[in-house]
Amino acid sequence: MISFTKRFDDNSTDEGFKFTFYCDVSNEPLQSTFIESKSDKKSDGLRNAGKGIGIGGGFFGSKFGKQLSGSVGLRGLDDMIKKSGELVGDASHEYDEHSSGYLKEKEDAFQAAQEEVKKNFAYCSACNRWTCNHCWNVSKGKCIQDANSLSCPNGHENPEGTRFCRQCGCSFVPTCSDGHENPPGTKFCGVCGKSL
C-alpha cells in the first residue's frame, strides 16, 4: 500500500480497518474512521462451524461411546469429527490473513481512508509534502516552512535569514556599489543614496 503522506500506520484488526496518516512537516497523526470488515463475518461463520462440528463430535462420541464402549470405530469417528472441527476453524484464520478477498477489501478500505483523511491535508508544491491544516499557511498557499522562506529572482526557495541563494548565489541583502547593506525592498541606499 502506498500512502499520499510519507508515513502511515495500519491499525487494522480482524474486525475491520483503520489507518493513521502523518503530516510530512510536523508528524501530527490523523486517523481515518473505522471501516468494518465484511470478510470477518465470513471467517466468524467458519470459526463457528468448526466449533459446532467439534461439539457435535464430542456429543456423538460421548452418547454412543457409553453404549458401545468396546467399539474402537466410534472412538475413531469421534476423534475424526473433532479434528474436522479444528480444521474448519483453522480455515477461518487462513481466510482472514491470506485470501484475495480479504486483501482486496483491505486495499479498498485503505483507498477510502486516504480520500477521507486527505481533506484535512494540503499539498505544498514548493517542497512536495502533504501538511496538516496546522502546518499550512493559507494566505501564501504553502506549508509554514516554505511560507517563511525567501525566493530569489530566479525562483529558488531559501530559508528565512539566508543572505545568499543556495542554488544560484544571488544576494538577498541589497548592497550599493560602495558595499553598503540595505534592507530588502529598498530602491536607494540609505547611507549614500545610490540606486540599488
Which cell numbers in the block locate residue 78?
A: 469421534
Q: How far apart are CA 137 and CA 146, in angstroms?
A: 9
Question: Is residue 17's pLDDT more than 80?
Answer: yes
> What is the pLDDT, as a whole number, of residue 121?
97
CB 28 within 8 A of CB 134: yes
User: Tell me: the pLDDT tens digits for 63-86?
Assistant: 554 554 454 555 555 565 556 555
19: left (phi over 0), alpha (psi -120 to 50) or beta: beta
* Residues 140-180: tens digit of each pLDDT: 898 998 887 777 777 787 777 778 888 888 877 778 888 88
> Which residue would you say has higher pLDDT here, 124 or 53?
124
* 82-85 CB contacts, 8 Å cutoff, 24+ apart: 82/53, 82/54, 82/57, 82/58, 84/53, 84/57, 85/49, 85/50, 85/51, 85/52, 85/53, 85/54, 85/55, 85/56, 85/57
Cell numbers of 194, please?
Answer: 545610490
Is the per-residue pLDDT at 49 higher than 70?
Answer: no
The more confidently predicted of residues 20 and 40 is 20
Ordered by start, the domain boundaries in the chain are 1-21+32-118
Q: Taking 80 as the threshold, does the pLDDT of residue 93 lie above it?
A: no
Whether this prediction's pTM lies above 0.95 is answered by no
